[in-house]
Structure 1
């Protein structure tokens, strides 16, 4: 498990650096749209997991959805929070609070917790144990809520 955490941290750093170079080529409104698309895709996959846990449990569906979430969590999306993306740009709206750009230590903690929860969810989903998946899914949801509570404006 520790090896996987080290591997995940190394992969996250590599993807963040590569993602930073790609994100630098995007206009601020494109960065906002791209990160929103990533979060929407994760939300859709969270919905698939929730539906499976609420109905007929399908391990394959849960595993694929969890792997998709972990993939995005480890993709370096932090690079999509570049200068000028802290506010609406050219008609593209964002719900990011200004604190996301000023409270870097807390952002790093919340982001790290989310990546760890996403990676754990993918690992647990691969085992197929529904009870463990429910617990991991709850932890993943809590990590999402922690960021929303601190760094996302209400509608």
Structure 2
């Protein structure tokens, strides 16, 4: 019981610290951090595409599994915290492309976020098997999830 209570206290303390750290993040930094996360995922998507979809690079199961794991890790990292009020305008590494609707359509944003996280986790699971057909199908689902968010919440 003491371990459970100690764990709960530690969890609440860690969450409080994390929440305070995010609350203190300047909008420009939040934009930069999320742009970095998306760029890192895109780079890893490119590795999977080159090896499994296009065949431009010889298939390496370990590289594909690592790339898919990175995508899932970033997807599950709590990137939603990198969209604080005021980060709909401004620059990180470049001008943000997020539309204002992202900040007012909580239900729609939740839908695309859940879809993306599921697709990213499914891709990591498929990549772990080494089955290129399953990886290719899961890769397509990640692409669809990305496109759904871009179509609704990313400026051209």
TM-score by length of 1: 0.84
**Secondary structure in 1 aligned to 2:97?**
coil
Instruction: Map residues 92-111 of structure 1 onto 2, 5 A cutoff.
Output: 93-111=95-113
Cα contact 1:70–1:115 (8 A) shared by 2: yes
Equivalent position of 2:9 in the other structure: none
Offset of 1:17 from its aligned partner? Answer: 7.8
**What is the CA-CA distance between 1:24 and the residue it aligns to?**
1.6
- Counterpart position of 1:42: 41
* Corresponding pairs, count: 140
Q: Per-residue CA shift, 1:53-83, capped at 9, x if unaligned? A: 1222221111000000000000000000001
How many angstroms does 1:86 deviate by? 0.9
Is residue 16–residue 75 contact of structure 1 (8 Å, CA) maintained in 2?
no
Q: Please tell me the root mean square deviation across aligned C-alpha atoms, in Å.
A: 2.1
Deviation at 1:107, TM superposition (A): 0.2
Shift of 1:22: 2.9
Q: What secondary structure is seen at the aligned counterpart in 1 of 2:90? A: coil
> Any idea what the Cα deviations from partners look like across 1:84-106, whole Å, max 9, x if unmatched?
10112599521000110011000
Aligned pair partner of 2:78 in 72, 76, 79: 76
Using the TM superposition, give the Cα deviation of residue 23 of structure 1 relative to its aligned residue in structure 2, in angstroms.
2.0
Q: Which has the larger radius of gyration?
A: 2
The residue that corresponds to 1:63 in the other structure is 65
Contact 1:66-1:125 within 8 A present in 2 as well:
yes
TM norm structure 2? 0.83
Partner of 2:130: 128
d(CA) in 2 for partners of 1:113, 1:144:
9
Q: Is the 8 A contact 1:100 1:151 kept in 2?
A: yes
Gaps of 5+ in 1: 1-14
Q: Distance in 2 between matches of 1:143 and 1:128?
A: 22
Q: 1:97 to 1:39 in 2, by over 3 A?
A: same
Structure 2: tracts of 5 or more residues without a match: 1-13
Corresponding residue number in structure 1 for 2:146 = 144
